[in-house]
Structure 1
Amino acid sequence: MGKRETEASLRCMELGIERTTMGLNLVRLSEIELTDIIVLHNDPRVLRHLPLADGNFDEFECARWVESKETQWEVNGYGPWGFLINGVFAGWGGFQLEMGDVDLALVLSPEFWGCGRAIYRKIIEVAFKEMGFESVTALLPPSRVRADGMLRLGFQAEDQVEVSGTIFYRYRLWAPEQRQRKG
């Protein structure tokens, strides 16, 4: 773990969410200030892992983007949330319909990168215990060089897929009861 990652993990531990998710709130993206989302989506450190983004994410684009994410909830009954850690916007993520699968997204502000595991645990718990999904997928761009972390979380590498002309690596995590049937 690099110095930055260690500092981020320590910050999340200080905030009390590394072992518990008590300081974490999942809220609809429409409840997040657009300026917070705009800052996140224009951060070059975040953009490095969002190959479909162009770095020109203004208020108009953000409002359209939030509306499209809210539509996921209306159409599919699930969608992405905004993550608040002790009341501070940390990023967004959750589930989106992607190529017929429930796809997991997790986009965090660099100041909260060390909090990803705790946030992941919470949203996976919601996926399998509350929403009853059989599996979720995750699409990672080639820039994510530490994709072995997906395997440690229980995901299985599936294949490469193309989204809007960009290649992603697809991973799948089966619900615990599905893993037992397949194992």
Structure 2
Amino acid sequence: MKHQITFARLPDIEPDEIIAHMSDPRVAEHMPLLTFKWDKSAVAKFVAAKEECWSRDGLGHWAILSGKTYVGWGGFQKEGDEWDFGLVLTPQSFGLGARITKQALDFARTDERIPFVTFLLPPSRRNLGALDRLGAVFVAEQEYDGETFLKFRLETE
């Protein structure tokens, strides 16, 4: 039986779970901006920054649960006038990405603030078939915090 996917807030997750998740080298493999050691201080700053997005924009990144188990974080973050979708799963949950993304995009399609979604992926991500199947189109290479990313766009209306 598949567990139900639910979205919660990051402060509801034990910091040690986030530390273990973000310290796994399989997670860092495709995260060029992940250049620091995760500890309780890093988690506190991360959660505070994500909660600030909720305060400022009324939307942000969620903690993602499968049943009652934390499987990662992701959601929508406002970047200028665009809503960028990000998803960072625990290695044990990599196979849930399509299901979680579909559920998040279903949410976006009902939110009038989100006429389209962008995705920024590092060039190390070679398998981009899922984005193609969603209907996302390549926009351009984009620099973000000194790193190059591949930018895609998906219309939600």
Please give the range of the TM-score, normalised by the shorter of the 2 chains.
Answer: over 0.9
Report the Cα distance in structure 2 between the residues aligned to 1:42 and 1:51, rounded to whole angstroms: 13
Structure-1-length-normalised TM-score? 0.82
1:38–1:62 CA contact under 8 A, matched in 2: yes
Report the Cα distance in structure 2 between the residues aligned to 1:48 and 1:136, rounded to whole angstroms: 24
Q: 2:90 aligns with which of 81, 96, 109?
A: 109
Equivalent residue for 2:43? 62
In structure 2, the residue corresponding to 1:123 is in which secondary structure?
Answer: helix
Amino acid at match of 2:50: K
The CA deviation at 1:131 is 5.0
Equivalent residue for 2:6? 25
1:70–1:79 CA contact under 8 A, matched in 2: yes
The answer as to 2:101 corresponding to 1:120 is: yes
The answer as to 2:70 corresponding to 1:89 is: yes
Q: 1:47 aligns with which of 28, 35, 46?
A: 28
Equivalent residue for 1:73? 54
Amino acid at match of 2:69: V
Instruction: Pick closer, same or farther for the CA change 1:38–1:65 going to 2, 3 Å.
Output: same
In structure 1, the residue corresponding to 2:152 is in which secondary structure?
Answer: strand
The answer as to 2:136 corresponding to 1:155 is: yes
Q: Structure 1: any 5+ residue segments left out of the alignment? A: 1-13, 18-22, 178-183
1:41–1:55 CA contact under 8 A, matched in 2: no
Aligned residues: 157
In structure 2, the residue corresponding to 1:65 is in which secondary structure?
Answer: helix
Give CA deviations for 1:116-162 in whole Å, capped at 9, x if unaligned.
Answer: 11111111011111454100100000111112321111101000110
Report the Cα distance in structure 2 between the residues aligned to 1:153 and 1:142, rounded to whole angstroms: 19
TM-align CA RMSD: 1.2
2:98–2:130 CA contact under 8 A, matched in 1: no
Equivalent residue for 2:18? 37
% identical aligned pairs? 36
Per residue, is there more strand in 1 or in 2? 2
Report the Cα distance in structure 2 between the residues aligned to 1:154 and 1:138, rounded to whole angstroms: 12
Larger radius of gyration: 1
Report the Cα distance in structure 2 between the residues aligned to 1:99 and 1:165, rounded to whole angstroms: 17
